[in-house]
Chains A and B, each alone.
Chain A
Amino acid sequence: MPRIMTIWLPRWPVQRRLGERPELRSVPVFVCRRERRGVMTIVAWAWALPPRARSTRGDGRSSAPRIPPGMSLAEGMAVLALAHGSRACHMAEVDSDDPAADRAALERLARQCRRFAPIVALEDAERPECIHLDVTGTAGFFGGEESLVRTAAWTLAAHGVHARVAIADTPGAAWAAAHHAERLGRQPAPPFRRPRRFVVVSPGEQATALAALPAAALRIEADVLAALGEVGIDSIGGALKLSRKSLAARFPPTLARRLSQFMGSRAEPLVPTFGEALPQAAHAYDVPVALREMSEDAIVAVLERLVGQCAAPLAARGEGITALQVRFGQYAGASRQGPCPPVVIDVGLYRPALAVRHVVELIRLRMARVRMPREIEGIAVEVVAAAPALCRQRTLFSGASPGASESAAAEVGMLFDRLGGRLGAKAVFEPQLVRDAQPEHAWVGMPPAGGASRTAASARPLAAPAERRPLWLLPRPVLLDVVAIVPAVADAGRPPVRFRHGGQVHDVATAYGPERIETAWWRGPIVRRDYYVVETHAGERLWIFRRLKDGGWFLHGVFA
């Protein structure tokens, strides 16, 4: 019996935008389609980091506003305003729908999911949100199906992708289980109550395990669903009890087809329908080889050959590699029971590249950070994403020619690749200002674009004058040991004239401020602070604040 794993990515159009612009996580995001007569219809919406809601349900979880797809933007904003106030509507980001970009991003993600199974396909739908994987026989590599779904869910979560994962006998059953994983999963004890992200339906049990799910989980259209509702059938179990002979006469043919696909009596093959085939290459060793006994040059030679094989077809069509996946087939050895999953290295490039040595260098940098297997059976290299490469004929003379500036930009892009490869992608970023008064959120780190530059006009202004912001900000404010305050004006919140920090006593000579920073309740924990720039008698400048809640003094920044 085949086993299918389905990864559902709820509200994928919004998730894609959040991945590209992380600063949107703190605001409501609406993806809308413009209908006739200019009406904006909501395709998807989400608020990744909503504020604490005032009203909570009985189970302690906050109640999110219900804004279904298809609702007009005006109605959606009204519902949002009811739940979070009109300020939330002012903060909201509205973006126009782009189904092609959504599909392309989903295809890229699907290619990266080949680490779990070789056959990967997108859901057969107009706007796919699911990835189907044929995991027949591959679950053992990950320690069983339960371990596989957990690994898949948390691997995607580590990449900032919110997913629900399910394994069942058929794509239809896995689709239904993934969409209702919260209902199906075992609920942990109340202190650890959290929605389940994965579920496994045992072989041959989809009819019983999923019987209670709503009929909409059969992937049927609204009119078929309404027809079922007219005869009082609202669950999969009820639909399965219907006589198959009567189905064709009473309901549209879609229902019979979907029920057959759900039970597996009608095949639903997974067809990888990726837009354009991306190259891959593999090298299999005759016998498992120990990495310890292999020289680094030998591994590099194999990698160079494989990457070269992948780069050649891309170069022919003027493209370069932007993402690559390397899989080292791990040999478990005779002593261990069961197979081992491959060790996977994902390499991302900030700029499309065709230089084989550069790509292999990035792989080597990542290999130094990954626990490599003792023995490997083979190496596979697959291009996950490609983009048009900038190729320009080199000039004889460099200097201030356009070619020189382009090659310098290319070198900078390669530098970002190397830094990201060794330090981690999140450790290399380009800061961008965000108009937010709270210092901790005054900027966000964006992935540096390879050769792209921004103009001065595109930047956002600083929320406060630059002279009021220190060059060093402590990760957490440090409580100051106040030695002396001005007695007569202590209640007015003047900064202390003497305080102790880092084993030193600082005497304040000058203080500039206060600069009051307050955040509103809808942003989470309320911040109310009076900031001062203080200069000591020695000329050192520090950024301290008084917490208005209790009057405590904290050091938050250093004018280093």
Chain B
Amino acid sequence: MVTGGLLEKLLKAGDFAGISPGWREGEAVATGFAPLDQLLPAGGVRRGSLVEWLAGAEASGAAALAAAVACRLAGHAERAAEAAATIIVVDRTGRFHPPAMLSWLERAGAGGRLAPRLVVARPAHEADELWAIDQALRCRGVAAVLAWPRSIHSTAMRRWQLAARASLAVGLFVRPLAARREPSWAEARVAVTARPGGSLAVRRLRLALAGGPWSGEAHLQERSVELGLDLARGCEAMLPPGAAAPSVHEQERIACRAS
């Protein structure tokens, strides 16, 4: 006879003896960027979901924002599971330069905790890239998957969505703004455009929701926010009031000599 307490525990756990129910609702995790949380439908990034970051231009800062969110998710997963979480970066272009993100991760692991791990996979072909994303999203222990897929077939994306739901990993995909015309299984699509101003350590970004799943519409919703990304720490930064007009050639001399 199953006692009430045990039955309740079973129902609450939803996953026992390694048997995964296959689907369960993931909790929404605050991204650490209050304006972004206000923008996202779930009030944060829901674990086990996909989020698309539509970059207005190559140097718009969308990837940096996605990387900062990935660090936040990994830190949250690490605290929840009391084990180091892993971020998988699938980088087919071979351009990903990890030092900046590594220093953000170190901050996430400060205080004697295990730092979240960053692992980079560099597939040579598009088929391998899609396969690597799929495999990473299926893995429990992976907190977030950051990738730059050029084209995603809706079938593949649906597969990723189901895989992420089962493992509670979050897929963060940085794509060009032109991809907003394509249907998507992502829970949220955030258009990121860079704004001038800010400072060396703070970038100003404008975010707008670019439709939801299967919107198929090219319009950007009216709702948009502006935030500051602290490039030194990978977290939100206060925007300077009024954002004064930037001065050209702000000089600051730093000399580094390699040993």
Contacts and interface: CB of A to CB of B under 8 A. Distances in A.
Interface in A515-540: 515-520, 523, 527, 533, 535-540
A515 B119 contact: no
A466 interface: yes
Contacts, number: 274
B220 interface: no
A407 B140 contact: yes
A82 to B, nearest CB: 20
B256 A412 contact: no
Interface of B: 9, 13, 15-18, 55, 57-64, 67, 80-84, 86, 88, 93-104, 106, 109-115, 117-124, 128, 131-132, 135-136, 139-142, 174, 193-198, 200-201, 203-204, 230-234, 246-259
Interface string A80-98: 0000000100110000000
Contacts of A414: 139
Contact of B81 (A408, A415, A471): A408
Given A469-B100, A471-B64, A559-B61, A518 B257 contact: yes
A418 B142 CA distance: 14
A475 B200 CA distance: 24
A475 B106 CA distance: 25
B99 A433 contact: yes
A538 B194 contact: yes
Given A394-B17, A508-B248, A455 B256 contact: no
A513 interface: yes
A48 interface: no
B119 A430 contact: yes
B16 A523 contact: no
User: Secondary structure at chain A's binding surface: helix, strand, loop or mixed?
Assistant: mixed
A412 B84 CA distance: 11
Contact of A427 (B123, B140, B203, B234): B123
Given A398-B16, A466-B234, A523-B258, 8 more contacts: A438-B258, A455-B115, A467-B100, A472-B97, A494-B249, A510-B247, A516-B256, A559-B61
B247 A439 contact: no
A516 B254 contact: yes
A467 B231 contact: yes
Contact of A510 (B57, B119, B246): B246
Contacts of A502: 58
Contacts of B103: 433, 461-462, 466
Interface in A403-432: 404-409, 411-412, 414-416, 418-419, 422-423, 427-432
B258 A518 contact: yes
Q: Which of A408, A512, A517, A519 has the most CB of B within 10 A?
A: A408
B112 A455 contact: yes
